[in-house]
Structure 1
Amino acid sequence: MAASLLASITPALAAPEPWDSKVYNPKPLEGDTVLPMPCGGSMVFRPVQVPGGDAYSDYQITVGGQDQERGFAEGSHPAYVAGSFTDSKAKARYYLIGKYEITEAQYDAVMNDSCPESKPSQAKRLSKGGVSWFDAIAFSDKYSQWLRQNALKSLPSEDGEAGYVRLPTEVEWEFAARGGIKVSPAEFNERLFPMTGGLNKYAWFAGTQSANGKPNLTGQLEPNPLGLFDVLGNMDEIIFEPFRLNRLDRLHGQSGSFVVRGGNYMTSAEDMRSADRQEVPFYEGATPRRSKTTGFRVVVAAPVLTSQKRLQTLKDEWSKLGAVSAADNAAPAKTSDDPLEDLALLAKASTDPATKARLEKVQTTLRANIAARDDQRDRAAKASLRLGAFLGRKLSDDAHAIDALAKVYKGRVETGGVDDPRAKSYKEELDHEQTVMDGNLRYYADTLIRTAEDYSSDTLKHQREILLVELQGMGLAELKPYVDQYFTHIAAYQKDKKVARIQWLGDWNKLQAP
């Protein structure tokens, strides 16, 4: 009897049959991260790398657009993004974002009380629409709990704390939608991410030439530079935090209802843009607001304060923010010259509560201004390194071209003499190219000296690491030798102050193109 009872319950306990990968990942890409789901399902994520690996490092970007008609909601302004997880291979952190919008199959696997008798068909690859903000939150919570109970080791972790699933913030969504560091800063700020062949290859929008008034299966079109599919069009995507108006350089203080991003299959091609953001009421009458054009994708993130050790590290780093220091490459400031120290002492000594509060406010404001100045300095240092590397590459290319032309000229002289018309033409071209390269070398030397004198070796070293992460992300890893060579020249000049133009040119001439 016991044996028959065991046999009767065994099928119910058997693990569900895994889904066909074409249902959850129709277009596999290198770098995909796959997490399991209930009912034998899976969900695919893409890593979003953010330069800067220190505790308080974040990355400044510009979000929004230039459409004046939508400026109240989408006006461009600075924002900051950071990753949740440490990238051990680079000076960067990252978060994970869904490669596709949540599909009907994935939504049912998490939200239904039981699994279906059969595996989902291709038809269940449709993006899940008709959901409310509360539905998306409930999905994220249930999926996070399932992962932590059934597949904890599959989740990325930070400082021993496992990640969890949630909706993306607006900045996380827009940074990823625009292409993150896979695109150049200029491309990042365009209306649309780079699209080879036009919008209809990347987004489902209104009209018979595209969506034709209905949602479409995920993963049929081309991905954005980060490998995200349907991030524009198909379904509006729900965001974690509430809507706020734009006030030119910042967001307004009032928080409203929820935000959807990216447009949907009823959005016209002309209105499709990365900056698109709409406010949607939480409720319609007495029930949560749901729309057939609204879906969502999720991210995997981690807490900020993951342990007591990290908390102490953050406290230490916070105390250094905005600390008064000497200008880059100047002698260290004396403690007695530190106005922050003076303000702190005055505030501590004050017996008047109002005066004490005002002094502490001035101290905080001064720290914030100094921190902002340091951020601007760091970005300028990185830009100088990037410029120098490109100038160095130009010198390398010029030197190789001149060497090749000189060999052609020499061969012509040997066969036809210096008065040969073709030899004279080569000589004129060679002299012209040499003059141009001499001018570029002077500009390179001026740029190098200014960079070396304006920024400390520590600042340049830190920004070099961030620049290399950015170049790797944009597919420009071949520029690393040029960045390294320029950095080497700067370090040598900072040490001996020798303007070694001939040596610098020789070094670039030795550097072979990757």
Structure 2
Amino acid sequence: MPHASIRRKACATFDRFGLAMVALLTLTSAAVAAETWDDKLFNPKPADGDVVLPLPCGGAMTFRKLSVPGDSLYSDYPVTIGTQDEAHGFAEGARTAYVAGSFSDGKTQRYLLMAKYEVSEAQYEAVMADGACPAKPGMAKRLPKAALSWIDAVNFSDRYSQWLRKNAAAKLPKEEGEIGYVRLPTEVEWEFAARGGIKMSPAEFNERLFPMPEGMARYVWYAGTQSANGKPQLTGLLQPNPLGLHDILGNVDEIVLEPFRLSRLDRLHGQVGAFVVRGGNYLTGEQDIRAAYRQEVPFYDGDAPRRAKTTGLRVVVAAPVLTSAERLRSAQAAWSKLGAVSAADNKPAAKAADDPLEELALLAKSAADPSTKTRLLNLQTTLRADIAARDEQRDRAAKASLRLGAFLGRKLADDSRAVDTLAKLYKSRVDSGSADDPRTKSFKEQLDREQAVMDGNLRYYADSLIRTAEDYGTEVLKRQKEILLVELQGMGLGELKPYVDRNFAHVTGYQKDKRVARNQWLADWNKIQ
């Protein structure tokens, strides 16, 4: 019995010691697994404006702002996506689409966050780990995660969203108190970003590729020994696009949110297919790399999900549209005003009886026949849509007029300074008694030419200014001025702000007093340094 008692005590002591050691080893293992990653694993090319969000297991993911002009709930930004290339038109036909941001960024801009790099193997494994973190990753894990199905990509986004909202909610952007979440980008968001967003002028945006001054091989991994050489490459080795996004073209295809549909000239066809990948990959030929690149991939390969070795993903952080009851009420109120008949700019307000929408509503209300009532309501909706489209065209034209005025103003400022300089040189030579000197005569001829050019530009500026003032109301111009300033800032042309402001002041001044003040306008331009 004494021996049995001793054995029981020894076993109990060993069990307690063993359990303690297991607990210690578990804690030690977890601590090692959760060790903070080296920055090069998640942001090998740091840049101003980077937004870093944490990942499980000590990791992180870097994002960039995808900014879009917008100052209200129904503000969206028109862009042309796709291509005019006949060979790819069936899938990539050019069409007008609209993009808007999820989060407010001041009064005139909205944004969402887009991952700066394709999701890496290390990031994917950290998010998808079920409680037990993998060992701290090495640089080889910076390869883009590939061989993914659409469901894999959605599951990754969901798990990362849930982890962030539980563990790092304060770091997520918010819209009216509603925190953001991770999802796949839409096709329009992806192509808007791939083309360079508002960093590009409209002409640059519609090119096949974003500007690549150092040659494509410095920006894109594509097929061939001069580039990817048949293998995926570590994220972030090449130069970024104008928005600071790396490998948005090439390396691995990137899965987007919505399914494939054929292009039917200016719109998408009604039949919905499988999922879409964008951008091309390391097996795509150099000549086929393009921002419009768009391929359908089957959801399934036999009885299993389709997982191509070239398919990866990039995610965005966005927010719901209707973030609160107040936002819902605002949406309802704003929707009722879309396409509403209003007085023409700078004209007296129309009477209610002159409003065809109101008249159609009254006729529909009094119609006894249900089919007649439905037709009248449909006609009212169609008319509202036409009016809303007209208003959008008016807004774009107003913005273009303000931009033209600003550029003409800058040209006048340059012209005025050149004329002043030549006039002073000519006067100094005349005052010194060299009026008949051939060089003095040459100065006079040059002065006369420059003066004639400036006078012509001033007449054109005055005509454009008056037309702008008469065609558009002050509130329309004010709103479009703010959107124009966002666009110019995005394109790196922020120095034009004084010219936009001065042109706007001239236009609104003319609206008030109807005075054509060419000499004063020219003097104002000459004051801008």
TM-score exceeds 0.5:
yes
State the distance in 2 between where 1:31 and 1:150 align: 23
Shift of 1:414: 3.4
Query: Given that residues 413 and 420 in structure 1 are in contact (C-alpha distance below 8 angstroms), is that contact kept between their aligned partners in structure 2?
Result: no
In structure 2, what is the Cα distance between the partners aligned to 1:116 and 1:10?
Answer: 12
Aligned residue for 1:41? 59
- After superposition, residues 362-381 of structure 1 pair within 5 angstroms as 362-381=379-398
Of 76, 84, 100 in structure 2, the residue corresponding to residue 82 of structure 1 is: 100
Moved over 3 A (4+): 1-15, 114-118
Q: Could you tell me which of 391, 400, 403 is aligned with 2:408?
A: 391
Asked whether the 8 Å contact 2:364–2:374 carries over to 1, the reply is yes
Shift of 1:349: 1.2
- 1:18 is aligned to 36
Distance 2:483 2:134 in 1: 50
Match of 1:228 among 223, 227, 245: 245
Which residue of the partner structure matches residue 263 of structure 1? 280
1:117 Cα deviation from its structure 2 partner = 5.6
- TM-score (norm. length: structure 2): 0.94
The one-letter code sitting in structure 2 at the alignment partner of 1:510 is K
Distance 1:383 1:330 in 2: 22
CA distance in 1 between partners of 2:215 and 2:28 (Å): 50
Q: CA deviation at 1:410?
A: 2.4
TM-score (normalised: structure 1):
0.97
Q: Distance in 1 between matches of 2:30 and 2:121?
A: 25
Corresponding residue pairs, total: 511
Deviates more, 1:11-20 or 1:193-202: 11-20
Which amino acid counterpart does residue 71 of structure 1 have in structure 2? G
Query: SS of the counterpart of 1:43?
Result: strand
Q: Distance in 1 between matches of 2:134 and 2:524?
A: 68
CA RMSD of aligned residues (A): 1.5
Please give the secondary structure, in 2, of the residue aligned with 1:239: strand
Report deviation, 1:118: 3.6
Q: Does 1:461 align with 2:455?
A: no
1:67-466 alignment runs, 5 A limit: 67-88=85-106, 90-116=107-133, 118-466=135-483
Deviations 1:476-504 (A, max 9, x none): 00000000000000011000000000000
User: One-letter code of the match for 2:72?
Assistant: D
1:412 Cα offset (Å): 2.6
For residues 176-225 of structure 1, the C-alpha deviation after alignment (integer angstroms, 9 at most, x for no partner) is 11000011010000000011121111100110000001000010110000
Whether the aligned pair in 1 keeps the contact of 2:222 and 2:283 (CA below 8 Å) is yes
SS at match of 2:415: helix
AA at the equivalent of 1:138? N
Larger Rg: 2
1:117 and 1:296, CA in 2 relative to 1: closer, same or farther beyond 3 A?
closer
Percent same amino acid at aligned positions?
68
C-alpha distance in 1 between matches for 2:20 and 2:50: 44
Deviation at residue 12 of structure 1 after TM alignment: 5.7
2: CA distance, partners of 1:132 / 1:441 = 61
- Correspondence for 1:29 among 35, 47, 57: 47
Distance in 1 between residues matched to 2:471 and 2:510, nearest whole Å? 12
What's the offset of the Cα at 1:351?
A: 1.7
Q: Secondary structure at the match of 1:327?
A: coil
What is the match of residue 528 of structure 2? 511
Where do 5+ consecutive residues of structure 2 fail to align? 1-15
Give yes or no for contact 1:412–1:422 (8 Å, CA) kept in 2.
Answer: no
Offset at residue 120 of structure 1 (A)? 1.2
Assess if the C-alpha contact under 8 Å between 2:114 and 2:316 holds in 1: yes
C-alpha separation in 2, matches of 1:414 and 1:466: 51
Structure 1 position 11, deviation (Å): 3.2
Q: Distance in 2 between matches of 1:42 and 1:219?
A: 15
Distance 1:7 1:269 in 2: 54
**Cα offset for 1:413?**
2.7
Is contact 2:42-2:60 (8 Å) kept?
A: yes
Structure 1 residue matching 2:208: 3-state secondary structure: coil
Pairwise CA distance, 1:343: 0.8
Q: Are the aligned partners of 1:204 and 1:232 in contact in 2 as well (CA < 8 Å)?
A: yes
Shift of 1:276: 0.5
CA distance in 2, matches of 1:179, 1:465: 21
Give how far 1:329 is off: 1.5
